[in-house]
Structure formats: C-alpha cells, structure tokens
Amino acid sequence: MSGVAIVDYGINNVRSVKNAVEYCGFDPVVTHDADAIADASHVILPGVGAFGDAMINIRARGIDEILERQVREKGKPFLAVCLGMQLLAKTSEEHADDGVVHRGLGWFDADVLRLMPNDPALKIPHMGWNMVAKERNHPILANIRESNLAFYFVHSFAMRCRDHGDVVGFAQYGQPVTAIISRDNIAATQFHPEKSQDTGIELMSNFLRWNP
C-alpha cells in the first residue's frame, strides 16, 4: 500500500506523468488492473484526448467501478489531471451532437462546457502558462507562493461546478476557468502539473504525500 497507480485507459501519452511521479521519488505503475489499483496508496487519473472516447474506454475496462470502490468508498488520495478532471463531471458537451451530451463519472455536481471567452481575440484552445488564483488553501498547494501559481494549460472545454465549495482555484481567460477542484480525498487540476516545471512538481509532490 505504498505505490502510486496511474490509471491506464488507453490514452496515448502518460509518460510525462509517470516521469514526474518518479522524479518526486515514487515508483508508479501504469495500469487498469483492479488489484494493482487496490494495492496503490495514491491514484492518478491522467487525461489527454476526447471526453466521449475516454468514457467509453473507462467503462469498457470497468475502471469506473474500480475507482468508485478505491477512491469513493475506500477514500484513497486521488488526483485527476486535465481531461481526467473533466471526467469527474456529470456531463460534457464536447463533440456533443444533436444536443446529446456525454455522461461522466458524476463525482462532482458540475458540467463540462466549451470555453467561451468574452474577448474574440482570445484563442481556443486555452494553451500556455496562466496564473491560478486561490479560492481557498489546499494541501496540494502547500509551500507554493501565490505569485508562483503559474501552470501550463491546454484545453478547449472546462468544468463548471454548481457547488462553489468544490473550487480551490480559478484561472482567468476571458471568463473564470475552473483550475483546481477538491472534495475530501479527491483533487483535480485542469492544467498539467507534470508540464508546469518546479511549481507543478511541487504540487505533485504535495499530492503524493497527502493523506486526507
């Protein structure tokens, strides 16, 4: 019960997440095996790609049930990154045709909506380094100065939480962009900590030592 499981649901590139966990001094396994995830002390759900495909893969491999048991019932510290965070919402309108939206894991009372910055000069995807302003403190942000809360974002959709208490921080991109959410043992970031240099590594290192 000391390992770190990086959940493999068939997405292309988890190498940088794995490298970052190793850099923090831990020995991760990339897996979708129920026993391996049960053996881990911390679980990371990475994410690159499209929402609908990701949910199909997650359900096909039974990962939704594994995570329900290990994270929601047993309370393992859990970090979801980028698309991984969006999968925790109830619905997403990404590539939604004819008004049919994709259903997510529904762990947060939230929907994933297309970014609609109020300034036409702002480009989509929201890609690059942006500041995150804290709504509240959180253990994964321990020892990071507010002026250093710059993280690397790449996304065209973002989560909107109905319960403001779930939000730890927002970025601004012609609209508030939900950047960090957390409840109980669950934390998630819209940005990529594994691509956010020292600050991102600090956040991941805080997560890997988090025991809520």
Question: 82, 102, 126, 135: which is the annotated catalytic residue?
Answer: 82
Residue number, 90 or 126, with CB nearest to another protein: 126
CA distance 111 to 134: 21
- Measure the CA–CA gap between 182 and 167, rounded to whole angstroms: 6
Instruction: State which residue, 76 or 102, has the beta carbon closest to another protein.
Output: 102
Q: Would residue 194 show up in a list of annotated catalytic residues for this protein?
A: yes
Task: Select the span of 8-16, 66-74, 162-170, 183-191 touching another protein (CB under 8 A).
Answer: 8-16
Active-site residue flag, 82: yes
The residue annotated as part of the active site, out of 42, 155, 192, 202, is 192
147 contributes a contact to another protein by CB under 8 A = yes
Q: Judge whether 73 counts as a catalytic residue.
A: no
Answer for which of 4, 6, 7, 20 binds another protein (CB under 8 A) is 20
Residue 20 and residue 158: Cα distance in Å, rounded?
Answer: 24
73 lies in the site for another protein, by CB under 8 A: no
Closer of 15 and 74 to another protein (Cβ):
15
Structure tokens at 12: 């292309």
Single out the residue of 3, 152, 175, 176 in contact with another protein (rule: CB under 8 A): 152
Residue 34 makes contact with another protein by CB under 8 A: no
Structure token pair of residue 180: 């960090």
How many Cα atoms are found within 13 Å in the side-chain-facing hemisphere of 57? 17
Distance CA 163, CA 179 (A): 14
Q: Look at residues 209, 156, 207, 211 and name the one whose alpha carbon lies nearest to residue 180.
A: 207
- Residue type, position 212, single letter: P
Q: How far apart are CA 100 and CA 91, in angstroms?
A: 10
**Two tokens at 30?**
């990339």
Catalytic residue numbers read 82, 192, 194
Q: Which residues bind another protein (CB under 8 A)?
A: 12-13, 15-16, 19-20, 22-23, 48-49, 121, 123, 125-131, 143-145, 147-148, 150, 152, 154, 156, 172-173, 194-202
